[in-house]
Structure 1
Amino acid sequence: MLNPTTNGNRLYEQVANQIAGLIEQGTLRPGERIPSVRKFSTQNGVSISTVMQAYARLEDQGWIEARPQSGYYVRLRSRELPPEPAISHPPLSASRVAVGDLVVRLHDAMDRPDVVPFGAACPSLKLLPSQKLNRTLGAILRRTNYAGVGYEPVTGNEALRHHIARRALDYGCHLSENDVVITCGCTEALNLCLRAVAEPGDTIAVESPTYFGILQIIESLKMKAVEIATDPKNGISLEALAAAMKKRMVKACLLMTNFHNPLGCCMPDENKKQLAKLLAHYDIPLIEDDIYGDLHHGAGRPKPVKAYDNNGLVLLCASFSKTLSASYRVGWTAPGKFKAQVERLKLSNTMSTASLPQMAIAEMLQNGGYDHYLRRIRRAYAAQVQLTTQAIRKYFPEKTKVTRPLGGFVLWVELPKSVDALKLYRKALAEKISIVPGPIFSAKQRYQNFIRLSCGHPWSVELEQALARLGRLAKEI
């Protein structure tokens, strides 16, 4: 126990030094929660004000960070972080996409239950509120004779659309339930929206790198992609995008402005405002994939570009696959002035989305269970990202670079030029470790020495050992 008779001005320093010492020696690790102010005060016989002063000092020194409605957590200090990758510089040219075959092979590997899951960007089943969802479904079935056995409207369950529209107000989007269309996951939302605004042969602007599922959709619709320079901190280069638009080579944009996959970056609000103006100037629609928007690590949920859209040009897409249940396949879109086209395409594509999952999610949104759960899963993802980053620094080759995501749960890792990502992928899979090689995130299969790692599973000794083996393999190539 600390000595409470020590001079008050020095006692908070003693508290701070004690905690800093525990962090330095590894007793408290990055991402872990430290005792609450009240608990530390009680355990160590010091006043609450002393502990608050100590925690403020630790924050100023970069040892810990405060997370709203959550507490204080050990922070990975900047001097302990690997450097970040630089902004990408792809040539400004449209190209056909050919990633489909590689995506299928990778999915087969990612779905194997015997591999360490750094590949698929899916939450661990241990983190999902399965029991809560099951109880909610059971309650719905018990109180309603015909629950879930009929078709929902083409646009989806009315209660769910209402709650989505209400929540959108929290991040600056003024929607009504009539502005929302429920889809079979975010993939269908992106697919329908892209078909609503473009045709085969048209060119779609995407970030570079971009999520391979987006490239797969563009490929399946026989469209082309133009990769735009993208910064791992601030997102797509508006200058490069404007240059592409000025050349009249872009029919539509398909971007992830919040917690991009694989970069994890979040476009600043001012950039989002400028992007909305750019779209309006050239009358070009944006399909905005906001699937990770609810998974911020910081104080509040960022706004999407949709919040700054005054012309109906932004088709906002999201889902509950990364937060509640991937198997429910419930996504949604607010497609602006393209809603009629999206409705028609939905009717001919899948007619409607399964009823019971929509009802269960609507009830979770209504009773506050969703927000309670989100607070917990955000803490888990932030901790897992920090611990994985720390392990990369410890085990991977020198000159390895890693992104610093502000939300979500994926890391984009740049390895030394000598490391072939596809070769590393094959060697890792032989040791039952799943990763995703960088070339799959590019229409022209760039990023030959990059990989994406998922941090969607709770940290464990097994995960750290797998990262150590992966680092060893990278050094051997």
Structure 2
Amino acid sequence: MKRYEALAEDIAQSMRQGVLAPGDRLPSVRQASKQRCVSPSTVFQAYYLLEARGLIRARARSGYYVLGHAAVWPPEPDAALPATGTRAGAEIGHAASVEVSDRVFDVLEASRAPGVAPLGSAFPEAGLFPLQRLGRLLAHAGQRMDPASTLDDLSPGNARLRRQIALRYLADGLTVHPDEIVVTNGALEALNLCLSAVTRPGDTVLLESPTFYAALQALERHGLHAVEVPTHPREGMDLAALAQALAQHAPAACWLMTNFQNPLGSLMPEAKKRELVALLARHGVPLIEDDVYGELYFSVRRPLPAKAYDSQGLVMHCGSFSKCLAPGYRVGWAAPGRFARAVTRLKLSTTLGTCAPAQAALAAYLEKGGYDRHLRRLRDTLAARQQAFVQAVARHFPEGTRATRPEGGYFLWLELPAGVDALMLHRHALAQGISVAPGPIFSAQDRYRHCLRLNYGHADGALDAVETLGRMAHALAGQPRRRPA
């Protein structure tokens, strides 16, 4: 843990214990620096982190003030999550064919019903995005677009937008030339194109466990086999288990999320990312890096992707504006390193291009500025909602419930008491107008039957829905319901 993180946690602990009460003024940066024997920069970073988590707020020319107590978190799942079929560092299981689409479609179709509280949704609340401004830019782009110029936006995509994406990489210290970027119809197309570029039917792909269900669907569609590698709920894929899987299965690729993984919310530390890239490079295995949540961090800076440590062009980095700016516009991209030409040709031979007005509108938005200001507001809102959501889970769910501790994104992974079947809870919840994402859709081998992924990115009715879910979980666990504190 870094110094500023330790200081922030110490202050949050004082809030939990009642030493610091709502409304209290924190020491000035100069005072805290002297009292704690740390640099002013460390104090600033700690205060920024607490502010991002919705625990304190700065007042102009006055200082920082406590907003409320930090959430009391349920216990964290173990490093090797239950029901994975293996423990971290143990022998990796066989390469399995994938047949998950029917179950995933059933869950997602039920979750889209009108009036359902969308705790199982893959997107946060639409009101969190600047959709009116984007809509004006989209209309303007459509009106001014020269029909002949639309051909310029075919694969690899709008040059202005690719330049803006390259500038985002540069701000993080990565040099990615615009010509290396392929604009796609959302991150899913980027990920699928990358997968197609480096695999053939019958190949094996390494995945996190649990993993994003769309990765499983992609493997199923391409006729590929999955090997699920144990994954730490806070730090991501277990690298000792990954090394064993590489030696045992000779995979064609590895697909994972290093930043705020879906569904766990795990964040791989930078040293571990460096080790991950080096390990895969020694085996010559491409890494398909899904980084759609990287901008939704609650700390002081964006966590670097694994792409930052790639010197051989083996990391195929995929991003999107769908999760952090423009859901529904379906604009993503791939920066596929040495595979850029193969991905571009696959794009040309499949969907050919991505919506030209949407690309132009996003390019104009990024050029005009305001994106980082929007992201700060979005992150602050999500961090505050996470705190309220976690408090509701701790208050209403049965004893024995465990929860991950994401430092970004908007997903919380719950491990329920062993007697609670997540699929049954999903059916009961739908009958009450609540959607959830049950654990088995995140595994090719029907694991995580007593786990749930919940979305805390929605406000209206979300906390009431958590209380109702908790009541149902109590009933399924056979526990008397606790009286709320």
Change (3 A) 1:144 1:394: same
Is the CA contact 2:290–2:318 (under 8 Å) kept in the aligned structure 1?
yes
Matched, 1:269 2:270: yes
The 3-state SS of whatever aligns with 1:247 is helix
Whole-Å separation in 1 of the counterparts to 2:166 and 2:44: 37
Query: Which residues in structure 2 correspond to 1:215-226 (within 5 Å)?
Result: 215-226=216-227
Query: Do residues 471 (structure 1) and 474 (structure 2) align?
Result: no
The corresponding residue for 1:31 is none
Show CA shifts across 1:300-325 (max 9, x none).
00111110000010000010010112
Taking the aligned partners of 1:148 and 1:415, their CA distance within structure 2 comes to: 54
Question: Whole-Å Cα distance in 1 between the matches of residues 148 and 133 of structure 2?
Answer: 18
Q: Does the CA-based 8 Å contact 1:242-1:278 persist in structure 2?
A: yes
Distance 2:372 2:161 in 1: 15
Q: Is the 8 A contact 1:90 1:227 kept in 2?
A: no
SS of match in other structure, 2:229: strand
* Distance in 1 of aligned mates of 2:259 and 2:57: 22
Q: Distance in 1 between matches of 2:414 and 2:301?
A: 26
Match of 1:377 in 2: 378
TM-score, length of structure 1 as denominator length: 0.85
**Displacement, 1:76?**
5.7
| Structure 1 residues 36-435: aligned runs within 5 Å | 49=28, 65-67=50-52, 71=58, 74=67, 77=70, 80-88=72-80, 89-91=84-86, 92=92, 93-141=94-142, 143-144=144-145, 146=147, 150=151, 152-435=153-436
Rate the CA distance shift 1:377–1:263 in 2: closer, same or farther, 3 A.
same
The normalised TM-score by structure 2 is 0.84
Measured in 1, the distance between the counterparts of 2:254 and 2:314 equals 10
User: Per-residue displacement from partner, 1:260-300 (whole Å, max 9, x unpaired)?
Assistant: 01111110010011111111110000000000011101100
Q: Distance in 1 between matches of 2:373 and 2:280?
A: 36
- 2:50 maps to a residue whose letter is E
Contact persistence 2:15–2:69 (CA under 8 A): no
Partner of 2:7: none
1:3 corresponding residue in structure 2:
none
- Structure-2 change in CA distance of 1:26 and 1:357 (3 Å): farther
* Amino acid corresponding to residue 126 of structure 2 in structure 1: L
- C-alpha distance in 2 between matches for 1:455 and 1:126: 14
Contact 1:193 1:287 in 2 (8 A): yes
Q: CA RMSD in A?
A: 3.0
Residues 296 and 306 (structure 1), Cα distance of their counterparts in 2 relative to 1, 3 Å cut: same
What percent of counterpart residues are identical? 43
The residue identity in structure 2 corresponding to 1:397 is: P
Tell me the CA shift for residue 363 of structure 1: 1.3
Shift of 1:96: 0.9
**CA deviation profile, 1:327-384 (whole Å, cap 9, x unmatched):** 1100000001111111111111100001011111111111212111101101111111
CA contact (8 A) 1:296 1:406 kept: yes
Q: Secondary structure of the residue that 1:204 maps to in structure 2? A: strand
Shift of residue 153 of structure 1?
A: 2.6
Report how far residue 140 of structure 1 moved: 3.1
Q: Any conservation in 2 of the 1:76–1:386 contact (CA below 8 Å)?
A: no
Work out the number of aligned pairs and report it. 439
Is 65-74 or 270-279 further displaced after alignment?
65-74
Give me the whole-angstrom Cα distance separating, in 2, the residues matched to 1:60 and 1:269: 18
Are the equivalent residues in 2 in contact too, given 1:289–1:318 (CA < 8 A)? yes
Say whether the 8 Å CA contact 1:59–1:65 is kept in structure 2.
no
CA drift at 1:195: 0.6
Question: What's the offset of the Cα at 1:146?
Answer: 4.5
Between 90-99 and 176-185, report the one with greater CA deviation.
90-99
Gaps of 5+ in 2: 1-10, 37-42, 59-63, 87-91, 477-485
Q: Distance in 2 between matches of 1:90 and 1:276?
A: 26
Offset of 1:110 from its aligned partner?
1.8
**Partners of 1:65 and 1:74 within 8 A in 2:** no
State whether residues 292 and 323 of structure 2, in contact with CA within 8 Å, keep that contact through their aligned partners in structure 1: yes
Of the structure 1 ranges 374-383 and 80-89, higher mean CA displacement relative to structure 2 is found in 80-89
The alignment partner of 1:126 has SS state of helix
| 8 A contact 2:21–2:68 mirrored in 1 | no
Return the alpha-carbon distance in structure 2 between the equivalents of residues 169 and 50 of structure 1. Answer: 31
**C-alpha distance 473-59 of structure 1, shift in aligned 2 (>3 A):** farther
* Change over 3 Å in CA distance of 1:189–1:61 after alignment to 2: closer
**Aligned counterparts of 2:276 and 2:140: Cα–Cα separation in 1:** 45
Whole-angstrom distance in 2 between the partners of 1:60 and 1:251: 41
Q: 1: CA distance between counterparts of 2:266 and 2:319?
A: 17
The residue that corresponds to 2:6 in the other structure is none
SS in 2 for 1:66: helix
TM superposition shift of 1:111: 1.4
> What are structure 1's unaligned runs of at least 5 residues?
1-15, 29-33, 41-47
In the TM superposition, residue 60 of structure 1 has moved relative to its aligned partner by 13
Report the Cα distance in structure 1 between the residues aligned to 2:464 and 2:273, rounded to whole angstroms. 40
Instruction: Kindly provide the CA deviation profile for residues 145-169 of structure 1, in whole angstroms up to 9, marking residues without a partner as x.
Output: 5498556231000000011011102
Distance 1:387 1:237 in 2: 30
Structure 1 segment 445-460 matched on structure 2, within 5 A: 445-458=446-459, 460=460
Whole-angstrom CA distance in 1 between matches of 2:246 and 2:298: 33
Alignment-mate amino acid for residue 340 of structure 1: R
SS at match of 2:384: helix
Instruction: Give, in angstroms, the shift of residue 421 of structure 1.
Output: 0.4
AA in 2 matched with 1:66: E
Structure 2 distance, partners of 1:392, 1:197, is: 42
**Aligned partner of residue 182 in structure 1, secondary structure:** strand
Partner deviation per Cα, 1:423-458 (whole Å, 9 max, x = no partner): 000000000000010011011010010000011213
